[in-house]
Amino acid sequence: MRDAYIVSAVRTPGCRRGKGALAQTRPEDLLIQALNGAVEKIGLDKGEIDDVMIGCAFPEAEQGLNVGRIAVQMAGFPDSVSGATVNRFCASGLESIAQSAMRIMCGWSEVAMAGGIESMSIVPMGGNMPRPHPDWSKKNPDVYVSMGITAENVATRYKITRQMQDDFAYHSQMKAAAAQKNGLFTEILPTKAFKFTEKKDGTYVREEFIQNFDDGVRGDTTIEGLAKLRPAFSALGSVTAGNSSQTTDGAAASVIMSGDACKKYGIKPLAKLVCYVTAGVKADEMGVGPAYAIPKLLKKVGLDVKDIGLFEVNEAFASQAIYCCQQLGLYDNKAEWSSDSDSRRININGGAIALGHPLGCTGSKLAATLIANMQKKGVKYGIESMCIGGGMGAAALFELCQ
C-alpha cells in the first residue's frame, strides 16, 4: 500500500463546557474554522480535497444531520467535496484520520481531510434522548454505565490510590500552564467565537471575539487543593473533578495526502500515519483500553516502548491513565511524565485533565498536538492513544517526516 502523509493539522482552543469561551458558539462554526485553517495553512485549493471525515461522539441536534458534510459546505468547499460523520466515541477524531488515511493508502483518494467536533455545552454527554435497549440493559448494564464509575472500578481493582491520581493531575496542570506561558501550543488556531449579552431592554445581542488559548488550565492548582475535593461518582471513591478530564468544547482538522499529491502541490509532509489499531476490553473498566491497544500497535509495527519518543495518552481520568502507563512500564519512573522532568515522554504539555476532552474532537486534537511536539523535539516516532466508552482502546503510530 501507499503511504499517507499528514501535511497540516490544527485545532481550536479547548474551552470549558458551559462556562468557557466557546460555550455559546455552535459546533458547525467551530468546525468550519478548523477545516478552513488546515487548508489555508498549506495554501491548498479546497477543490482538490476528495472527501472529509469528521469524528463526533454525539452526532445529534446542532452537530447532527451529518455535520461532516454540512460543515464542508458551510466552509465554502465546492459541492464536489463530499463529507461524512464517524462515531467511535472518544476515538472518533482519530478514527476519522485513520479512515481518511486508508483512502489514500489504497489509492481511492489523493487528498482527503479528517477532523473532529464536540460542543459539550450544546449537546450533552449521553445525548439529548438516550434510549438504552431494555433487555440488554438488564443483561449487561456495564455498557451504559457512567464513565466515572468505570474510572472508580479501575482505581479499586488495580490499586490506583487517591494520592497517585491527584499527583498525576497536578503535574498535568503544571505542564499545561508552563506550555501556555511559553507559547508551546503552536497547533492552536485563533478561533472566532460568539457570546450573547443581554441589553437593558431585555433583548440579546451577539458579540464576536477571538479565543486563542485553552481556558480550562488551572495554573494555581496545588496538591493540597486537589486533596480537598469530594469524590464525584462514588461517596467512598477516589475519582474527583480535579483528577478527571474536563468536559470541553472544541474542533480540529487535518489534511492528508499521498506522496504523489505532496509532490504535485509542492507541500512538505509533517508526519506519516504508520498504523492504527483498536482493542476491545471489559466495558466496566473501559479506561484500560490503551494498555491493550498500544502493545497491540507496537507488536504490529515491530517496535518497543523504548523506541517511541513521545506519547499522547488521553487523560480521561487519572486512574486509567496511570494504570495504562504502569502496564507500559512508564509510570514508576516519574521522569517519564512529571512537570519537573526535561526527559518526559508522556503528555509533555499536559493532558485532558488540564486541557479538556472534547470527546469526538479529541483524537484529531491530540494528533495535531503530537505532531507539533514531534517536530519541536525532532522525535521520529510518536503514539497517541485513548480509552473509549463501551470498552475499547485505540492507538496510532506517527512517524516524523524529515
Question: Catalytic residue positions?
Answer: 90, 357, 387
What pLDDT score does 43 carry? 98
pLDDT band at 402 (very low <50, low <70, confident <90, very high): confident
What does DSSP say about strands 51-55 and 111-119: parallel, antiparallel, or unpaired? parallel
pLDDT(238) > 90: yes
Percent of the chain whose pLDDT exceeds 90? 99
| CA separation, residue 336 to residues 162, 291, 328, 342 (Å) | 20, 16, 11, 9
Which residue from 126, 124, 130 is spatially nearest to 27, judged by alpha carbons? 124
> For 162-193, how does the pLDDT look when each residue is reduced to its tens digit (9 = 90+)?
999 999 999 999 999 999 999 999 999 999 99
Distance CA 315, CA 318 (A): 6
Q: Are strands 381-388 and 310-313 parallel, antiparallel or unpaired?
A: parallel
Residue identified by cell 519541536 is: 376
Q: CA 359 to CA 249: how far, in whole Å?
A: 9
| Banded pLDDT at 40 (limits 50, 70, 90) | very high
Query: Which range (135-149, 164-178, 358-372) has the least confidence?
Result: 135-149
Residue 1: the pLDDT is 87
Q: What is the pLDDT of residues 308-343, one digit of tens each?
A: 999 999 999 999 999 999 999 999 999 999 999 999
Residue 267 three-state SS: coil
The maximal CA–CA distance of the chain, rounded, in angstroms, is 67
CB of 147 closer than 8 Å to CB of 389 = yes
- Predicted local confidence at residue 5, as pLDDT: 98
Q: How far is CA 200 from CA 24, 194, 204, 205, 208, in A?
A: 20, 19, 9, 11, 19
Angle in degrees, CA 307, 309, 315, rounded to 5: 115
Confidence of residue 82 (pLDDT cuts 50, 70, 90): very high
The C-alpha atoms of residue 94 and residue 367 are separated, in whole angstroms, by 8
Residue 359, C-alpha cell as written in the block: 470527546
pTM over 0.85: yes
Cα–Cα distance between 166 and 185 in angstroms, integer?
A: 24
Q: Which grid cell sits at 320?
A: 486509567
Please, which pLDDT band fits residue 37 given cuts at 50, 70 and 90? very high
pLDDT computed for residue 243 by the predictor = 98
Q: What average pLDDT does the segment 28-32 reach?
A: 98
CA gyration radius, the chain? 20
Question: What does the pLDDT look like over 197-221, one tens digit per residue?
Answer: 999 999 999 999 999 999 999 999 9
Dihedral (CA of 162, 247, 22, 93) sign: positive
